[in-house]
Amino acid sequence: MATVEKTEGGELSRRELLRAGTAGAVGLATVGGSVALVRPNQADTQEQQIVRGGQEHVHAMGTSGDIDTSLYDPAVHLESFDRGRTSPLPDGRTLREYEITAVDRTIEVAPGVNFDAWTYNGTVPGPTLRCTEGDSLRVNFTNAGSHPHTIHFHGIHAGNMDGVFEIVDPGDTFRYEFDALPAGVQLYHCHAAPLKRHIHKGLYGGFIIDPRDRILEPARELVMVMNGFDTNYDGENEVYAVNSVAFHFQRHPIQLRVGELVRIYLVNMTEFDLVNSIHVHGTFFKYWRTGTRPDHYDYTDTVMLCQGERGMIEMTFEHPGRFMFHAHQSEFAELGWMGLFEVHG
Ligand SMILES: [Cu+2]
């Protein structure tokens, strides 16, 4: 059994986590006792991060135990879409109304690893908003958090609906109104300064605008938001994941059938690292960058996305078995960005 070293002051760095990995424990597993992760400035006790240790079994790669999924389940987020409250408009279009509240919440980013997040509606990522191209959207935003926030939507809209200059202070509200344009895989995130911190704390989510004039083939639809967490506030991520929880889809493989069409809405919200990536084993996929041009796709098994970049994947598996999907940056994979498809014949 490997042990995880601590630096002076009790911090556990990402490099140490990786070194622990190469010694046999890999990734985020902690062995025996408890290891406190605290930011360099220990005066800010609100943001102390604690790793609860314990006498836990260590796997070859991954984490031991499981998270409490009663507050947030990455597998539920994977297939959940918030389509808002709809009502018809006189011009024949649809009005779609969403309620978004920013709240501070401690989330579990790996079994026993807590992170003091800032969230939209209590989860990281926030809800995946979904609408149809041309819909009239109304987003009622309440800031119930401890810091000023906004919602900045990627899309085509008026300057005063851009969620940059209209800072919403704690206790205040703001209504964003704009039309859903253009069709594709979009995203939203807080745009209050310092931007890097507000995004990294968890204020982001997927925003899917379905095309109006063409129906996508029926498919198993999955939302994967690639993200990372700087649990000791040293300016780099200690934990990587899709949908926030390290190795979650390795512990709980995504169940598929041979020949089943799978469509992944992929969004990269990783801070601190310029690019992230996804590699799928055992098959190749079509990839539409931003999902905006149906006539233009790549056929590959690996794509890389810059911060804020997103796209749409479609694929099927021709063979049954267990197939990994993960960042092709091996370091990210070993720190949690690793999952499995379990394909049944
Ligand atoms: Cu913010």
Ligand 1 centre to CA of 261 (Å) is: 37
Q: Which residues contact 298 (CB under 8 A, 6 or more apart)?
A: 286, 287, 289
The answer to whether 312 and 287 have CB atoms below 8 angstroms apart is yes
Q: Which two tokens stand for residue 154?
A: 């990627």
Closest CA to 132 of 180, 99, 185: 180
The answer to whether 53 and 32 have CB atoms below 8 angstroms apart is yes
Ligand 1 centre to CA of 317 (Å) is: 40
- Domain limits of the chain? 74-210, 220-344
Q: Which two tokens stand for residue 303?
A: 């794509």
Ligand 1 centre to CA of 173 (Å) is: 14
Ligand 1 centre to CA of 260 (Å) is: 39
Ligand 1 centre to CA of 178 (Å) is: 21
CA distances from 318 to 24, 217, 283, 345 (A): 34, 18, 7, 9
Query: What is the predicted pLDDT for the residue at 43?
Result: 34
Query: What is the predicted pLDDT for the residue at 63?
Result: 80
Ligand 1 centre to CA of 305 (Å) is: 23
Query: What is the predicted pLDDT for the residue at 64?
Result: 83
Ligand 1 centre to CA of 199 (Å) is: 7
Give CA angle at 256 (111, 327), nearest 5°.
50
Ligand 1 centre to CA of 86 (Å) is: 27
SS3 281: coil
Q: What is the CATH number of domain 74-210?
A: 2.60.40.420
Q: How do residues 66-87 score in pLDDT, each as one tens digit?
A: 999 999 999 999 999 999 999 9
C-alpha 243/C-alpha 204 separation (Å) is: 11
C-alpha 80/C-alpha 129 separation (Å) is: 9
Query: What is the predicted pLDDT for the residue at 17?
Result: 61
C-alpha 233/C-alpha 48 separation (Å) is: 9
Ligand 1 centre to CA of 149 (Å) is: 4
CA distances from 285 to 30, 260, 278, 281 (A): 36, 13, 11, 10
Q: Is 104 exposed, middle or buried (0-12, 13-18, 19+ CB in 10 A)?
A: middle
Ligand 1 centre to CA of 104 (Å) is: 11
C-alpha 149/C-alpha 248 separation (Å) is: 29
Q: How do residues 24-51 score in pLDDT, each as one tens digit?
A: 333 444 433 333 333 333 333 333 333 3
Ligand 1 centre to CA of 189 (Å) is: 8
Stated pTM of the model: 0.85
SS3 250: helix
Ligand 1 centre to CA of 308 (Å) is: 16
Ligand 1 centre to CA of 32 (Å) is: 36
C-alpha 105/C-alpha 119 separation (Å) is: 7
Q: Which residues of the chain have pLDDT under 50?
A: 1-10, 21-60
SS3 assignment for 67-87: CCCCCCCHHHHHCCCECCEEE
| CATH topology classification for 220-344 | Immunoglobulin-like (2.60.40)
